[in-house]
Amino acid sequence: MTPAPEPRPILDLFKLYGRHAVVTGGAQGIGYEIAKGLAQAGARVTLADLNAEVGEPAAQALGGTFEVLDVTDAAAVAALAAKLPDVEILVNNAGIVRNLPAEDTEDDDWTAVMKVNLDGVFWCCREFGRSMLARGRGSIVSTASMSGLISNHPQPQVAYNVSKAGVIHLTRSLAGEWGARGVRVNCVSPGYTATPMTRRGLDTPEWRATWLGETPMGRLAEPFEIAPAVLYLASDASSFVTGHSLVVDGGYVCW
């Protein structure tokens, strides 16, 4: 059992001073905006990403640090977790998509997506989770997707959709295991968001029309609009929330 917290002024609950946050895939896009939001809330941030060329200056801009990391490399993830034993907030955000019809999805396509989007999330939860459990304190937030709840169209992306459904259920499984030990595990499930990942879709008239037409709010999210949801889940503002998938999709899943 974890002790109930003492009441505090409500805006103080969102402050992260003195906490170290790691954001995977934080060099650009949604991950960068999440890291920026956490830094503005007071956290010390480490961006962990494959892409050092973009990630180094991005980390500098936030007053944080950069670590090269391939989340699919379990040994590298373990080494980073050992190097940063004081991490209290882990954001699993690295992700890739392959838009292929199911019947043309080769073994390598399936495996590549699963390795980044699902295996990588588990390796990071397991390795950073150990030190959080030892300290009895930590918050993990993964970037899942509305694709874990619905199957997107018109573009095919079977491996991506399944990987994100896996992240949502991994979230629930770990929340159940670790809830009484002080470590909360949640995810955000964004809808279409304007980042390099969606550029191809926006340039494809049929995809763009469907994406906008099927979103009740009639637009894509800007990447900074995902960050407040992550801040809520990462901070003490959500002290009694665990195992949750917070959908941030302009209403897409309503239809």
- Active site (catalytic) residues: 160
DSSP string, 141-195: EEE--GGGTS---SS--HHHHHHHHHHHHHHHHHHHHHGGGTEEEEEEEE-SB-S
172-211: contacts with ligand NAI (CB under 6 A)? 190, 192-193, 195-198
CA-CA distance, 98 to 156, in Å (whole number)? Answer: 8
| 30 lines the binding site for ligand NAI (CB under 6 A) | yes
Residue recorded with tokens 């209403």: 251
Which of residues 34 and 174 has its CB atom nearest to ligand NAI in the complex?
34
Q: Say how far residue 245 (Cα) sits from the centre of its chain.
A: 11
Q: Which of 16, 20, 21, 29 binds ligand NAI (CB under 6 A)?
A: 29
Q: Which residues contact 141 (CB under 8 A, 6 or more apart)?
A: 89, 90, 91, 92, 186, 187, 188, 230, 233, 234
Residues 6+ apart with CB under 8 A from 83: 67
Q: Closer CB to ligand NAI, residue 137 or residue 208?
A: 208
| In the complex, least distance from residue 43 CB atom to ligand NAI, rounded to whole angstroms | 19
Q: Name the residue nearer to ligand NAI (CB basis): 178 or 207.
A: 207
Nearer to ligand NAI (CB atom), residue 4 or residue 75: 75
Q: Among residues 5 and 190, whose Cβ is nearest to ligand NAI? A: 190
Residues 88-107 that bind ligand NAI (CB under 6 A): 93-96
Would you count residue 31 as binding ligand NAI (CB under 6 A)? yes
Residues 103-142 close enough to bind ligand NAI by CB under 6 A: 116, 120
- Per DSSP, helices labelled H in 62-150 are 74-83, 107-114, 120-135
Single out the residue of 50, 62, 87, 183 in contact with ligand NAI (rule: CB under 6 A). Answer: 50
Chain-centre distance for alpha carbon 156: 22
Of residues 56-75, which lie at the interface with ligand NAI (CB under 6 A)?
Answer: 69-72
Q: Is 250 left (phi over 0), alpha (psi -120 to 50) or beta?
A: left
**Which residues are near ligand NAI by CB under 6 A?**
24-25, 27-31, 49-51, 69-72, 93-96, 116, 120, 143, 145, 190, 192-193, 195-198
